[in-house]
Amino acid sequence: MVRRLLADGTAATGEREIVPAEAEVIARIFLEYVSGQSARKIAAGLNRDGFPSPRGGDWNASTIHGSRQRRNGILNNEMYIGRLVWNRQRFVKDPDSGKRQSRVNPAGDWITTDVPDLRIIDDDTWQKAQTLKSRYASHAGNKRQTKKRLLTGLVKCGCCGGNMTIARKDRYYCAARREKGTCEAAFGIAAAEVENRVLDGLRRILVGQ
């Protein structure tokens, strides 16, 4: 999308047009997804090839697949098939924190406008992507939820300093590696080993006191 500037230098609102370079990235994402690549692998490839994400930083899997409920993310954006959807969410103030929080409106309240000039993805590719997303979501919903470990949210990657998350067989893996492909730490470490090292360190501190 391009924002045009008015004579006074302010951004004009409500005007959109296709940016060819960005459209190529969107087309690449859809084509790779329907060919069987995961959102994580696609994100890693885009980061490797130096393409900035919509916000200018690194790509990650959630930027691509988004949320099923909120219908955000590249693969859910109907603008790429020539439709703009308005009033999808509203903002309310949290009574405790005073901060604004987004809430999804009922689908019946959404407002849809056809904008065929903004189409990038053909209907066949779009439908294939939506079918795959539904299939993957159903499969993921049937999986056992990962149990939280003693150090969940506290372990950092020694290579890049990013967070580490629990994945296959109770092992910690670098989230930047898994989500963005931007870290070289590929093998992870057993959660039990990390916990034992931390507990040993705490024992030594307590004994020393």
pTM of the model: 0.67
Per-residue pLDDT, 31: 97
CB neighbour class for 107 (10 Å; exposed up to 12, middle 13-18, buried from 19): exposed
Q: Per mean pLDDT, which of 78-82, 91-95, 189-193 is the most reliable?
A: 78-82
**C-alpha dihedral (57, 123, 132, 50), degrees to nearest 10:** -20
Indicate the range of 7-11, 24-28, 29-33 predicted with least confidence.
7-11
Region 57-76: what's the mean pLDDT? 88
Phi and psi at residue 156, to the nearest 5°: -115, 150
